[in-house]
Amino acid sequence: MPLQIVRNDITKIECDAIVNAANSTLLGGGGVDGAIHKAAGGGLLLECMRLGGCRTGQAKITGGYNLPCKYVIHTVGPKWKGGHNGEKELLESCYRESLKLAKEYNCGSVAFPLISSGVYGYPKAPALKVAMDVISSFLLENDMLVYMVIFDKAAYQISEKLFSEIKSYIDDRYVDRHRDARLERMRAVQMSQPLYGMERVHPQAASLPTAAQKPLDLESALGTIDESFSEMLLRKIDEKGMTDSQCYKKANVDRKLFSKIRSDVHYHPSKTTAIAFAIALELSLEETKDMLMKAGFALSHSNKFDIIIEYFITNSNYNVFEINEALFAFDQSLLGA
């Protein structure tokens, strides 16, 4: 997954570079800066002393010393002064300049803290949006694994409006679900037929004859097997006039995994990967369900994850990174692979 949101202490992350939310002296401080210097040891401070500071919105690189990363990229975020003093542009610049340095130093993976959102007071929801926007557009042009590290889940926020809209959407659907489940159970008893579990459905189960239909022999049954997940994916990419790379990048899926799916007609993706592609292709809810079925999955109202996906599709919001922010806020698995 090219862009992942993770809950962790950034000093523990094993990757090529971690980013430090420093101040313009680059000589250490509190927050994540203090934690990074402490874990790296005195060598980091000595190297920082030779850098001559750093301007707000810029970035400089050092070694990682005792940290489990090769480099530390030090960037200076803006102090929040109400939002009308160029804070957003400066914060965008921090992410852009840090990514530029990471690329220059051939980093395959880099981890960011939520710059400026602590001591410097940048409100967390807009700080996260800036981070996700800059990183995701960088990833459209570049191959890199980027971790957005959230230290304190309680401090993690998506916009309040989005959070409450999704929450009430979930609440409404959960109510429906209990009613539906009861009806379905009654119907199942009446028809004396087993119900398929809502989660994993055998890919071909949907096309096999039901008891009410005329039974088919094995050969004709096999003849009814639809195109596979991978075939449907490639067909849809063509129909939408997308290139492969536009599609897997928009899906937050790694290039290597996409090649695997492309070359294996029977590839079985995970549910989060299958949905990520449906989102990248901007499929309707019905088409999404169809595509999931090819991979052996269903969307149901029996879990929050599915309802959140449904919320975004019915609102025609196909930004996988925004969806992931929301999924993270609700403690769900993220889309992509």
* Chain positions contacting ligand AR6, by CB under 6 A: 9-11, 21-23, 29-33, 35, 77, 113-120, 149, 151-152, 155
Distance CA 59, CA 96 (A): 9
Q: How many CB atoms lie within 10 A of CB 198?
A: 17
Q: Give whichever of 112 and 321 is closer to ligand AR6, judged by the CB atom.
A: 112
DSSP bridge pairs for 114: none
Closest separation in Å from C-beta 149 to ligand AR6: 5
Closest separation in Å from C-beta 111 to ligand AR6: 8
> Residue 324: how many CA atoms within 13 Å on its side-chain side?
30
Closest separation in Å from C-beta 180 to ligand AR6: 40
Q: Give whichever of 114 and 139 is closer to ligand AR6, judged by the CB atom.
A: 114
Q: How many CB atoms lie within 10 A of CB 242?
A: 16
Q: Give whichever of 11 and 136 is closer to ligand AR6, judged by the CB atom.
A: 11
Closest separation in Å from C-beta 78 to ligand AR6: 9
Closest CA to 52 of 36, 19, 76: 76
Distance CA 41, CA 150 (A): 23
Closest CA to 139 of 19, 16, 251, 249: 249
Phi, psi of 242, deg, nearest 5: -95, 160
Instruction: Give Cα 159 distance to the centre of its chain.
Output: 17
Q: Give whichever of 147 and 229 is closer to ligand AR6, judged by the CB atom.
A: 147
Closest separation in Å from C-beta 15 to ligand AR6: 13
Q: Give whichever of 30 and 108 is closer to ligand AR6, judged by the CB atom.
A: 30
